[in-house]
Structure 1
Amino acid sequence: MSAALEILNRPTVLGKLALSNRFVMAPMTRKRSPGGVPTAANAAYYRRRAEGGVGLIITEGALIGHPSASHEDDVPRLTPGAAEEGWRLVTGEVHAAGGRIAAQIWHLGGERRPAETAWTPDRLDDQQIRELLIAYAESARTAARAGFDAVEIHAAHGYLLDEFLWPRTNHRADRFGGSPERRAAFPAEVIRAVRAAIPADMPLIVRFSQFKERDHAARIADTPDELGAILGVFAAAGADVLHASQRRFWEPAFVGDPANLAAWAKRLTGLPVITVGSVGVPRLPVDDLGADLVALGRVLLGNPDWVRLATSGRMREIRPYTKADEDLYY
């Protein structure tokens, strides 16, 4: 086993949550929850990754219970009733396999279709903001009831909360727009609402990024100082862990320093961090990541046993990721 894999295979804790190792399954939208309700097939899919050795699974984005959250009916929701029962099946299967699982809560923002129905930063009034905070808190309470071990807030990749962080999509002149701290203010309100809705010892993860799904060159922060201002607001609001999403984890976040986005997040806040971005496709983690945990994404689609195989010296049994793996679901 390489030195990097040996380090990542060690047990760790997030707050009081014990993890068998430092490998995380990254959230990946799969669109296999009819009517927004997770099924036995979803439960089996997540259980397989727990059996394969992943220390912490983060679910695909689960939509908050507000009509503006999405236009899609095959993406899971995190709402009381049938969806909650479906998620309880998922968490039960993962726990039975010895795994731990976090729910990612999500709002599409400007990616909702048709575009004229999308709730975006520039369109939201105070009443709509209150509605969203209530919906985020209710999804978090639902996650706790459904047996999740942690909650992740999706504030990355150009969706609603990230739209507040990005100057190109946030032109507000009130307390939610302008400086990096003010652009982070509404995501921070969401963090506070979620923190208040879940048990005090349940880890709260916040996922953020520079890039957007439709603009890989986008940036919410042009300098470390700007990033520190944003992440400092997140930490003060109650974030326990920062999940720094990059397209390629090995790329520097800023010119003149080799540190990636996760390493900068740790340097700026002192919080535990997760790094992600093409890990194992085909590159492996290196010893100086500057991250506490490493998330695997696409490589787990066709290799649910990736962690077990990699940490037992059986790398040759791991088949390379191909685009066709995205059609697999087992």
Structure 2
Amino acid sequence: MSNLFSAITIKDVELKNRIVMSPMCMYSCYNRDGKITPFHITHLTSRAVGQVGLVMTEAIAVMPEGRISPEDLGIWNDEHVAGLKELNEQIHAYGAKSATQLAHAGRKAVLDSAIYAPSALPFNDSSDTPVEMTEEAIQKTIEAFKNGARRAKEAGFDIIELHGAHGYLINQFLSPLTNKRTDKYGGSKENRYRFLSEIIETVQTEWNGPLFVRISTDEYHDEGNTLEDFIYFAKEMKNQGIDLIDCSSGGVVPAKINSYPGYQLPRCQKIKYETGIATGAVGLITSGLQAEEIIQNERADLVFIGRSLLRNPYWAKCAADELGYSINPPVQYKRGWS
């Protein structure tokens, strides 16, 4: 029996295995309208065919100015729902569950228009300086996350993840490196958490399904949030009903990161055991054996696979073969997989 291929139920959603397609930007909305294209449907559905348990879209912007690039997917308009609904019908047809990652890029947006952040600090010397958000702008953005959740529900997603990692807007509010505000959204860790807290509260008025949050558990800077700060944030999220924390790292400020297989796991595991919340492991997880070890040793509850799934849509099949585990193929592929 493989733990990696065991089912898990999160709220009322059952995943057939612990493998998640990690959200990855595809920069493929060539009309710059945020709408699903044939590429997105082929790209994401093929991973469902490949037997990934949960297929997650790229970061999907809740506001036009929240896109990382002009070619990113959007969910800021009701016109986006039809394409996303078609995508979900395709993913579900192959036995996978679907998720979307609601996001706002903040100061890391690369657009031909104004960009926004908690404080007027550019990401680096070549980046535009963002406009410091007023409290009115903050409330408008929180409302946009709520509307994004409503549209995600209408489109048929099973799970929503809030993107609070990699130096994007939620992360910018959480971090003392990027949040220099002196109002109720800045200063103490309690105040820096307020923006995410209010997003969670308003999203939950529209969404009662599983809700994940991705965070950067290491900011790679001496003056950034500590692991203890992230444990505090995780406890607060658990108290608010968040079901799982997707534990990534970096992206808040420019930094040289020493990456190696499993390099983000110790903090993921620490958060899981210190808070009792379910966690997702991500970062250079490349083999079935490695993923099995993570799940079997209860270091995380799900494994998020990124680049390996770009290289091979049938990564789950290869992982099963490596572990000597037999998975049920799509009926069309039985002759090749048996």
TM-score of the two chains, using structure 2 as the length reference: 0.82
Q: CA deviation at 1:233?
A: 2.1
Identity %: 29
CA contact (8 A) 1:248 1:276 kept: no
Partner of 2:214: 207
Could you say if the C-alpha distance between residues 208 and 218 of structure 1 is closer, same or farther in structure 2, counting changes exceeding 3 Å? farther
Matched, 1:20 2:11: no
- Tell me the alpha carbon deviations over residues 87-129 of structure 1, each in whole angstroms, 9 at most, x when there is no partner: 1111010001111011101101011236982211121111101
**3-state SS in 2 of match to 1:178:** coil
CA distance in 2, matches of 1:23, 1:190: 27
Choose the corresponding residue for 2:6, options 6, 10, 15: 10
Residue in 1 that maps onto 2:53: 55
SS at match of 1:98: coil
Trace 1:159-170 onto structure 2 (pairs within 5 A): 159-170=168-179
Q: What letter is aligned with 1:58?
A: M
- Give the Å deviation of 1:174: 2.0
Q: Give the Cα separation in 2 of the matches to 1:195 and 1:290.
A: 28
C-alpha distance 296-71 of structure 1, shift in aligned 2 (>3 A): closer
Q: Structure 1 length normalisation: TM-score?
A: 0.83
| 8 A Cα contact 1:249 1:275, kept in partner | no
- Over 3 Å counting, the alpha-carbon distance change for 1:170 and 1:149 in structure 2 is same
Deviations 1:279-328 (A, max 9, x none): 1079823243510111100000120001112112389xxxxxxxxxxxxx
Q: Aligned runs of 1:108-123 on 2, under 5 Å?
A: 108-113=105-110, 117-122=114-119, 123=132
Residues 43 and 106 (structure 1), Cα distance of their counterparts in 2 relative to 1, 3 Å cut: same
Deviates more, 1:79-88 or 1:139-148: 79-88
Counterpart position of 1:41: 39
Task: Quote the Cα distance in structure 2 between the aligned partners of 1:114 and 1:89.
Answer: 28
Matched position secondary structure for 1:261: helix
**1:74 matches 2:81:** no
Contact (CA 8 Å) 2:160, 2:211: kept in 1 or not? yes
| Residue of structure 2 equivalent to 1:188 | 197
Kept in 2, the 8 Å contact 1:62–1:77? The answer is: yes
Change (3 A) 1:223 1:70: closer
The answer to whether the 8 Å contact 2:61/2:67 transfers is yes
Change (3 A) 1:280 1:177: same
RMSD: 2.4
The one-letter code sitting in structure 2 at the alignment partner of 1:304 is P
Q: What one-letter code is carried by the residue in structure 2 that aligns with 1:49?
A: R
- Tell whether the 8 Å contact from 1:120 to 1:163 is kept in structure 2 after alignment: yes
Quick one: which of 77, 87, 93 aligns to 1:96? 93
State the alpha-carbon separation in 1 of the partners of residues 280 and 222 from structure 2. Answer: 21
Deviation at 1:166, TM superposition (A): 1.1
Which of 149, 153, 162 is residue 158 of structure 2 equivalent to? 149
Gaps of 5+ in 1: 253-258, 316-330
Contact residue 12 and residue 22 of structure 1 kept, 8 A: yes
Instruction: Count residues in correspondence.
Output: 298
Which one-letter code corresponds to 1:10 in the other structure? S
Q: Distance in 2 between matches of 1:168 and 1:242?
A: 22
Q: Which amino acid aligns with 1:28?
A: M
Q: How far did 1:235 drift?
A: 2.2
Deviation at 1:217, TM superposition (A): 4.9
